Structure 1
């Protein structure tokens, strides 16, 4: 049976701005996204002669079309007429769930890239991104990866100069914030600050890591419940005190990350933050995937 191992990379929001509400009920977004090498691993096997099956190392994850990895395989087959002759997906998750790191979308994107190769479909990246929009808003970006400006619902992508070489310390607190709840809260609060997206883009163009880090911001931090906001701020403050050039929450949270220009400082910060938040990772930026 043909088989392929693929990696699904986490994403960070270097900035996240939510603009007006659209007629379709979604919000207009403007985000600068970055892929990092924290990743899930998937094994795809075709020709099993059985209906699609999925299993993972986390027993609470759905193993059917509610899982974005399985949904991506089903959507790819529907849109292309491909017949896998039976498909098995095995998922080994390392990206924390419900963290704002697009773990589910990254898995879906990895399935699209992997099956495109394994089945010899030869679909161009743009077609995979188009199919990805039908699976989830972050999936097109996760197909592409690298450093990109994401607009619309997140599916309108513009490649950006790569984030300068750096080290990332990621922390996932013990709580999660449901995305619909946070969008609802955002509609009812006064946003104190907007990301300086134009300045961030200029810093990327100049290869200015410190300039990027200074301009990172996520408007969802303004919409967090007070207790959660305090916990996020505590982690951001600790990252800065440990030498991060800047710190930010990713997506709708609750993961927080800091950018470091020194591996030694990043490792020391990782040790310190692990005392406050047991789920911490050291990561590096990843360039464009397709």
Structure 2
């Protein structure tokens, strides 16, 4: 009797938030140049990859509306990994247990892609460096290299140029995802049409991070895409819950509250887990996608 060893690996795929997001120009290829401080948070999907005899990539998730083919970043990551390593005729099953909200500004899809690359590198013992994995990930999306690294990073270029920053201490955080999604390209197009923009003071917030001054970090949170997102919400005839969400967080003594990425998720930093939980309970009247976790 032939015994076939089935290899399987599981990893967490973490969400990210943007403490700052600035647009610094338009590149020759039409992409927007950004400058953003990104940080991982302890909200994650769980990804399991199992080798199979199917000789193809298969993908399942707990959310039936998500694509299970190359339209899914995780599937595309597996395709590009096999292409880059020259591995052929291998079958894998990718199982994703989603907790990170979809179309939320939390880089859930990019994080899944980065995690798939890291798992496959380990599963097939290919020995690719982090930089080599990032080169593959960049072909999927500009956030993927950050998601491969994680932690606290200053992202520049279109998000692919990364500089490590001092890590934040563990801070209670509430994330609130309104009951709609926002298109990232549409947010950038709307920004282009607006005559005035807000810009974060990136150097000051980096100094506050180095000093672990949470009050100053909270006061300096800034996202140049927040007002364009408000315009998109209004144009689509939707109620805009973001000001009320931020006001509620501040009522419960949040150090600061901000929309992450192109939105619409709002996060707030809190002095204690008790205050975070109190705010979360109140915010559940706005949406059922409310998460209490830590940085």
Worse-superposed segment, 7-16 or 74-83:
74-83
Q: 2:197 and 2:207 mapped to 1: Cα distance?
A: 23
Residue 11 (structure 1) aligns with: 16
The partner residue of 2:255 within 233, 240, 245 is 245
Question: TM-score of the superposition, structure 2-length normalised?
Answer: 0.93
1:36 counterpart (41, 58, 64): 41
Where has structure 1 moved over 4 Å in runs of 4 or more? none
How far apart are the structure 1 equivalents of 2:110 and 2:174? Answer: 21
Does 2:90 match 1:85?
yes
CA contact (8 A) 1:191 1:222 kept: no
1:117 aligns to 2:122 (yes or no): yes
Correspondent of 1:150 among 143, 155, 170: 155
Shift, 1:70, TM fit: 0.6
Secondary structure in 2 matching 1:191 = coil
Which stretch has the larger CA shift, 168-177 or 183-192? 183-192
Q: Does the aligned pair in 2 maintain the 1:33–1:149 contact within 8 Å?
A: yes
SS in 1 for 2:241: helix
In structure 2, the partner of 1:134 is 139
Distance 1:96 1:84, change over 3 A: farther
The one-character-per-residue Cα deviations of 1:154-179 (angstroms, maximum 9, x if unpaired) are 01000000012211100000111211
Partner of 1:288: none
Q: Radius of gyration: which is bigger? A: 2
1:211-265 CA distance string (max 9 Å, x none): 1111111111121226369421221111111111000000100100000121111
- The answer to whether the aligner puts 1:23 opposite 2:10 as a matched pair is no
- Partner of residue 188, structure 2: 183
SS at match of 2:210: helix
Write out aligned runs for 1:1-290 (5 A). 1-83=6-88, 85-224=90-229, 225=231, 227=234, 230-285=240-295
Separation in 2 of the partners of 1:220 and 1:170?
Answer: 18
Unaligned runs of 5+ in 2: 1-5
Instruction: Identify which range, 45-54 or 154-163, moves more after superposition.
Output: 45-54
Structure 1 residues 84 and 273 mapped into 2: Cα distance closer, same or farther (>3 Å)? farther
Moved more, 157-166 or 45-54: 45-54
**TM-score normalised according to structure 1 size:** 0.95
Give structure 1 stretches of 5+ with no counterpart: 286-290
Please give the per-residue CA displacement for 1:182-222, whole angstroms capped at 9, x wherever unaligned. 11110010334211111110001111111111111111112
Q: Distance in 2 between matches of 1:196 and 1:186?
A: 19
Name the Cα RMSD after superposition. 1.4
Q: Which moved more, 1:202-211 or 1:44-53?
A: 44-53
Counterparts of 1:185 and 1:87, CA distance in 2: 40
